[in-house]
């Protein structure tokens, strides 16, 4: 996968959970998860590179919180419109 994308799970029309997939090679598996608080967890592959952000509290998470994590890994920051699905419903 060359580009990141956001997958949102809805329950009763409201965002229940989400996952921000980060660019990675096909079939890459998570070997470690780190809790960043506020409903954000980062999954890592075996070499320590981040492969995704688990968003367990999508209605509470902010763009600034996600971008703070992305900047720690020198990854491109999200634009506000990329989180639009989390604010839906």
Q: Where along the chain do its domains lie? A: 5-76
pTM of the model: 0.91
User: According to the model, what pLDDT value does residue 55 have?
Assistant: 96
| Candidates 1.10.3470, 1.10.540, 3.30.390, 3.40.50; CATH matching 5-76 | 3.30.390
Range list of H helices, the chain: 63-72, 84-87
User: According to the model, what pLDDT value does residue 2 have?
Assistant: 80
Q: What is the pLDDT of residues 7-27, one digit of tens each?
A: 999 998 888 999 999 999 888
- Compute CA 87 distance to the chain's CA centroid, rounded to the nearest angstrom: 15
- List the structure tokens of 50: 């981040």
User: According to the model, what pLDDT value does residue 1 have?
Assistant: 66
Largest CA distance in the chain: 38
Can you list the residues of the chain whose pLDDT is less than 70? 1, 88-89
User: According to the model, what pLDDT value does residue 13 have?
Assistant: 85
């Amino acid at each position: 996968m060359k580009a990141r994308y956001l997958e949102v799970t809805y329950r009763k029309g409201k965002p229940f959970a989400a996952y921000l997939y980060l660019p990675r090679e096909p079939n890459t598996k998570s070997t470690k998860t780190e809790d960043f608080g506020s409903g954000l967890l980062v999954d890592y592959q075996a070499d320590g590179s981040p492969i995704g952000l688990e968003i367990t509290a999508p209605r509470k998470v902010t763009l600034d919180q996600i971008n703070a994590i992305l900047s720690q890994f020198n990854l491109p920051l999200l634009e506000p419109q990329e989180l639009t699905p989390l604010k839906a419903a």
